[in-house]
Structure 1
């Protein structure tokens, strides 16, 4: 009996959640309002306050510019061992992003994710603009997003 209780309590503390609701068919990020929406077709399933790159205005042009990309991308990977709790990857840069950065003689960068809050010990507010171009939410919110959003889901990032 004690073992079952311990097993049950340890499951409650897991960062891996399950989701059995409607499929998330699209993610929309509104940079100007600092909001992210998980949609099932036209129905908003969940919405979140977000933090962006430390220089949030405009489209990401090259590595290190602190901007969050704008445009249509896809969720393409997940990282259960992220230093930002959990993370799901965005397939930035696309061919256009690469060409534009190379035309400026720069690297487009990469590793753009939706992820949890700042690492332990950081004083950054998870919803402030503190990332290098990623989209940040709280750790608890990231647990739900990680469970809800599948690889291949389109993400539209709007100015």
Structure 2
């Protein structure tokens, strides 16, 4: 068995397209739709797998910047500062895997959200909201670019260039 993930995905896609797809002729519509969605997802994974770690690191960098700005705005945010410290260690680790990078990013996102939700000063809450919206626009643009192979973008050429 070939252990190369790229080759394994190519073989699975070919088998699904050349063997399974033709056998679905006459199948119920929802079965065919689900098959095509699963096939599209596998094609997406196959195409994006080489960039997954870089994308996760780009997202972590964006969330680290947002977290630092949020701490500066709040003046004190111990839980978020702890999450930043942990995320910086992951970011500095050249051997960090994608799952670890994503976990650090998720924790930052959760702590930034918690900081905003706990803000009792309306001015601080508004400032934190602005920071999230500003950072979110860029991050959403990259997420849309990442998911563009699914074909849902009306004008994919207008999406920002990949930053990963």
Normalising by structure 1, report the TM-score. 0.27
Q: Which has the higher contact order (CA 8 A, sep 6+)?
A: 1
Give 1 or 2: higher helix fraction. Answer: 2
Normalised by the length of structure 2, the TM-score is 0.27
The structure whose Rg is larger is 2
